[in-house]
């Protein structure tokens, strides 16, 4: 896990958020997602620098399109958002 993933995981694990169970590094179709909450049908993805290249953005677009076609909500946050505004990230996850 990246440092951003570790930081977010510390706040998601053990049903700390809305008493929802999150799993990390979960296989969904042909993808491994960062965090998955089956009850909320939600995926949380953290994006590092490699996601902001032209190729990375296209891969993420295709990936998100597939995941949403499976009835899943995909929330994406940058690593920077996690480090600088963790409470805001948690709030956005909470309201979804």
pLDDT digits (tens, 9 = 90+) for 51-69: 557 787 899 899 999 999 9
pLDDT digits (tens, 9 = 90+) for 16-47: 878 899 999 999 999 999 999 999 999 999 98
Span 1-29, average pLDDT: 92
Give the pTM: 0.88
pLDDT at 47: 86
Domains annotated for the chain, with CATH where assigned, are 3-95 (3.40.960.10)
Number of residues assigned to the chain? 96
Nearest to 28 by CA among 10, 44, 12: 44
Alpha carbon distance 76, 24 (integer Å): 15
């Amino acid at each position: 896990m990246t440092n951003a993933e570790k930081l977010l995981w510390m706040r998601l694990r053990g049903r700390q958020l809305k008493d929802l169970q999150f799993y990390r590094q979960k296989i969904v179709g042909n993808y491994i997602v960062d965090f998955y909450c089956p009850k909320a049908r939600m995926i949380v993805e953290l994006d590092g620098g490699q996601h902001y290249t032209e190729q990375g953005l296209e891969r993420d677009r295709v990936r998100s399109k597939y995941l949403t076609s499976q009835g899943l909500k995909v929330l994406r946050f940058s690593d920077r958002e996690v480090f600088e505004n963790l409470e805001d990230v948690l709030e956005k996850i909470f309201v979804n």
